[in-house]
Chains A and B, each alone.
Chain A
Amino acid sequence: MPRINSTAELETVRTDILSTRDPNKPCITLCSGSACQATHCKKVAAALELELEKQGLTDKVHVRKTGCHGFCEKGPILVLYPEGICYLQVKAEDVPEIISETLIGKKIVERLVYVDPTTGEKAVHEHDIPFYKNQERLVLGLNTKIDPKSIEDYLAVGGYQALGKVLSSMAPEQVINEVKAASLRGRGGGGFPAGIKWEAARNAPGETKYVIVNCDEGDPGAYMDRSLMEGNPFCVLEGLLIGAYAIGAHEGYIYVRQEYPLAVENVTSAIRRAEECGLLGKNILGSGFDFIIKVHQGAGAFVCGEETALIRSLEGKVGEPKARPPYPAVRGLWDKPTNINNVETWANIPLVINKGAAAFTSIGTEGSKGTKIFSLVGKVNNTGLVEVPMGVTLRDIVYKIGGGIPDGKKFKAVQTGGPAGGCMPESLLDMAVDFDQLTKAGSMMGSGGMIVLDEETCMVDFARYFLGFLADESCGKCVPCREGVKQMLTILTRITKGKGKEGDIELLEELAEVAGSSALCALGKGAPNPVLSTLRHFRDEYEAHINQGKCPSYSCKDLISYYIDPDKCQACTSCFRKCPAEAIEGGKNLIHVVIQDKCTKCGSCLEACPVKFGAVKKLSGEPIPSPLPQEARTIVRKSKQS
């Protein structure tokens, strides 16, 4: 594509691209995000090419390998346009049938369409699937429409329109005012208003200024930023360019985790394509504005997601946070005024400019505008990325979009906000999700991780898991975080092992106050949250562990025992054969008994025991009944009596 020299030329190029594209030409999109790659979408893509060639359809059908569609539970996802027929969990073997039946024969391959696990209803089109139907995918939606390597695709869906508008008709102050009016809050964790941050960087004295994209997404289970970076890097670049223009920066950095190879590849390729088209570099769109972007790969430290640590890491120093003030807006990268925002925040900018602040603020709640992408994971039927307007309830996210809890289990809590977030119990399910409500409930928005927990999750153990993560990821600079988190972890570990002591809960609360108020950065200050929020809503579980030696969720291995109910055991030998530790004594017609000393508590016996018998049980906090004497263990079958 030739270099684009003005906003007018940009529109001409867009018109040219669209004129070559027949909206009625069949197009097959295949999700090629990281999750679908793990379920072999590349094999599906190869099969697709081969089959189209075999059928002589290569020129008649367009195949587009897109970024993440979000419904990762059901990948690889294949959608046939113009009809919008959506096939899930597609395998390479399914491809010939899809081509002959659907593409040519216009018939649906029933086994590949979505079936609602509760109602059994089928949904053929993407927009009919409940997972998608209840979302509002203003930012993530483009992922399904473009090939992240193709700038033409991005232009075809209206890409760089916002940049054109900004460079041709808006002064930097106007851009900042628009972002301020949109009340766009940072999507990375803090929720600080982006416009105010931009203004501070713009007003800070100094010629050289920098802008940074924070793609050091490190929360366990969260991958919103990853999917945006992989699936629609141009949108992030466009947002960054607009921000740079508004702030007065001519150099930008993308700090991306090395563990995200596809994100690195796609954003690097996007930068190259944008440079070729004159959408990066000198005199962008003939406006006189110059801007370059460099990609920097992080080495995997969670704390580098904290802005001051990220900046130090970019400078080539150890990724340790620095005290604020001075804020990066005044003294950031190489001591120059720097504006740093998260990937999703930058990706919202073109939307704010295109639709205008008024339209943007029509979505959301009083204090939180627009939409938010969450990664919905854990014990929920439809795991994946969901984008919803601020203010929808947790219940809608977990049940309407997420499809509820699998295997008929009971909902226990949903954890939001990453390792430094908190847990919401069932009583808070009807709470509207936004920055302020979550904070009020003792959790936080964070970057948008959402982990659903069912009745089998022990909340003490859950807090222990996050504290373990944070203890490992603490940079170790300040005492409250390095020592405080370690001590909290020690206490939680001892409680889950049944060695909790009276006073442990109070000690946890004391240490939580120390770390929460005196730690240097947000990692240490937020570290007590998993403990405090589980204590707030599930204190009885802590008390049961300590006072009764009981894990109410039957999850902590040191506090549970497996026991076979002699009245129910039919001596079928299922568990006897499955036990990997030879910890079950039994035999044909001999009621089985768990030898507690040998039992490793792996749970194989419970899984193996036929549901109709239900003889294997978990016990916690109560004595294990002594086994029947040998002579009482023989089962006399009725049939044999006659």
Chain B
Amino acid sequence: MSDILLQIDGREVTVREGATILEAAQSMGISIPTLCHHEKLEPYGGCRVCSVEVDSRGRTSVVAACLHPVEQDLVVRTRTKKLERIRKSLLEMMLAHAPDSEALQELAQEYGADKARFEKDASFCIHCGLCVRYCAEVKKKNALGFIDRGARKEICFIPEIASRECWDCKECFPLCPTSALQAAFVLSKALIAPPEDEKPACCASSSSCACSHGTLP
């Protein structure tokens, strides 16, 4: 793999081919805000607070630093008026869901985001997917996933898997940028009241099933 020379905030840097803009910036001590990024996970590009401006092949565009691969002679700007506006609005929209999140509040202060700008819709979830992706990519259990789409999208534990895997793990809880209670709440909901019609196949077929599904609180 060859090295790539690019420019970030007016300073030149050389990184390996295949690195992302975020990695390149980090290597030179430039901080770009992130929320859905986690070094153990595949880049996701969901929160977009890491948006940066790039000049590439004569065009200026906004890309997610966590995802966008470096290119030779790429010019990157991590702090511009436009980016400040974008990050501020994004934070405000997320704060409507999770007004007490420390991670959000910290960034809100930096970008002057007003948590009361948009009507409160306290779902507490900002759909960063850290819990979902950590369970799938690191733990390889897929005990939770997203259901539905758009504004109706929610995280959801799968009772059959969660009842087996989650008691001794819960590693996703501290990852949550809004509050660990969010994942805990969704997990408890899934375990306490699994949908009736979705009884695990084992329990449905035999009354003397040896699994632990029936014995959970």
Contact of A474 with B62 at beta-carbon distance under 8 Å, contacts A479-B94, A518-B86 already known: no
The segment out of B40-48, B175-183, B184-192 that lies at the interface is B40-48
Asked if A473 CB lies within 8 Å of chain B CBs, one says: yes
Asked if B64 CB lies within 8 Å of chain A CBs, one says: yes
Shortest distance between the CB of B41 and any CB in chain A (Å): 14
Asked if A490 CB lies within 8 Å of chain B CBs, one says: yes
Asked if A520 CB lies within 8 Å of chain B CBs, one says: yes
Contact of A471 with B150 at beta-carbon distance under 8 Å, contacts A510-B85, A517-B86 already known: yes
Is the beta-carbon distance between B93 and A484 smaller than 8 angstroms? Answer: yes
Is the beta-carbon distance between B47 and A482 smaller than 8 angstroms? Answer: no
Which residues of the other chain, B, contact A480 by a CB distance below 8 angstroms?
Answer: 48, 86, 90
A537 to B93, CA, bound (A): 28
Contact of A323 with B64 at beta-carbon distance under 8 Å, contacts A482-B127, A482-B153 already known: yes
Contact of A490 with B89 at beta-carbon distance under 8 Å, contacts A476-B151, A479-B126, A517-B62 already known: no
Is the beta-carbon distance between B93 and A325 smaller than 8 angstroms? Answer: no
Shortest distance between the CB of B59 and any CB in chain A (Å): 12
Asked if A590 CB lies within 8 Å of chain B CBs, one says: no
Considering the complex, which residues of chain B in the window 111-157 have a beta carbon less than 8 Å from any beta carbon of chain A? 118-119, 126-127, 129, 146, 148-153
Considering the complex, which residues of chain A in the window 501-535 have a beta carbon less than 8 Å from any beta carbon of chain B? 510-511, 513-514, 517-520
Contact residues on B (Cβ < 8 Å of other chain), bracket: 20 to 34
A511 to B85, CA, bound (A): 10
Is the beta-carbon distance between A472 and B150 smaller than 8 angstroms? Answer: yes
Which residues of the other chain, B, contact A303 by a CB distance below 8 angstroms?
Answer: 149
Asked if A95 CB lies within 8 Å of chain B CBs, one says: no
A483 to B150, CA, bound (A): 8
Considering the complex, which residues of chain A in the window 462-512 have a beta carbon less than 8 Å from any beta carbon of chain B? 471-480, 482-487, 490, 510-511
Asked if A595 CB lies within 8 Å of chain B CBs, one says: no
Considering the complex, which residues of chain B in the window 74-106 have a beta carbon less than 8 Å from any beta carbon of chain A? 82, 85-86, 89-90, 93-94, 96
Is the beta-carbon distance between A514 and B69 smaller than 8 angstroms? Answer: no
Is the beta-carbon distance between A487 and B93 smaller than 8 angstroms? Answer: yes
Which residues of the other chain, B, contact A471 by a CB distance below 8 angstroms?
Answer: 150-151
Query: From A303, which residue of chain B is reached at the shortest CB distance?
Result: B149
Asked if A318 CB lies within 8 Å of chain B CBs, one says: yes
A534 to B208, CA, bound (A): 64
A510 to B63, CA, bound (A): 18
Contact of A520 with B64 at beta-carbon distance under 8 Å, contacts A476-B150, A479-B47, A513-B85 already known: yes
Shortest distance between the CB of A378 and any CB in chain B (Å): 26
Is the beta-carbon distance between A476 and B146 smaller than 8 angstroms? Answer: yes
Asked if B170 CB lies within 8 Å of chain A CBs, one says: no
Shortest distance between the CB of A436 and any CB in chain B (Å): 16
Asked if B67 CB lies within 8 Å of chain A CBs, one says: yes
Which residues of the other chain, A, contact B68 by a CB distance below 8 angstroms?
Answer: 323, 325
A483 to B128, CA, bound (A): 13
Shortest distance between the CB of A518 and any CB in chain B (Å): 5
Asked if B34 CB lies within 8 Å of chain A CBs, one says: no
Shortest distance between the CB of A110 and any CB in chain B (Å): 53
A575 to B82, CA, bound (A): 56
Is the beta-carbon distance between B48 and A478 smaller than 8 angstroms? Answer: yes
Is the beta-carbon distance between A519 and B48 smaller than 8 angstroms? Answer: yes
A325 to B71, CA, bound (A): 11
Contact of A301 with B149 at beta-carbon distance under 8 Å, contacts A323-B67, A518-B48 already known: yes
Asked if B51 CB lies within 8 Å of chain A CBs, one says: yes
Considering the complex, which residues of chain A in the window 306-325 have a beta carbon less than 8 Å from any beta carbon of chain B? 318, 323, 325
* Residue among A301, A318, A485, A517 with most chain B CB within 10 A: A517
A326 to B118, CA, bound (A): 35
Is the beta-carbon distance between B149 and A323 smaller than 8 angstroms? Answer: no
- Residue contacts A-B, CB under 8 angstroms, 13 given: A318-B146, A478-B45, A479-B90, A479-B126, A483-B93, A483-B96, A484-B89, A513-B82, A514-B89, A517-B86, A518-B62, A520-B45, A520-B48
Binding site for A on B (CB under 8 A): 44-49, 51, 61-64, 67-69, 82, 85-86, 89-90, 93-94, 96, 118-119, 126-127, 129, 146, 148-153
Given A479-B126, A482-B151, A518-B62, 18 extra CB contacts under 8 A: A301-B149, A474-B149, A475-B153, A476-B152, A476-B153, A477-B44, A478-B48, A479-B47, A479-B48, A479-B49, A479-B90, A479-B127, A480-B48, A483-B90, A514-B85, A517-B86, A518-B90, A520-B46
10 A-B pairs with least C-beta separation = A476-B153, A483-B93, A474-B150, A517-B62, A323-B67, A514-B89, A486-B151, A518-B51, A476-B150, A518-B48
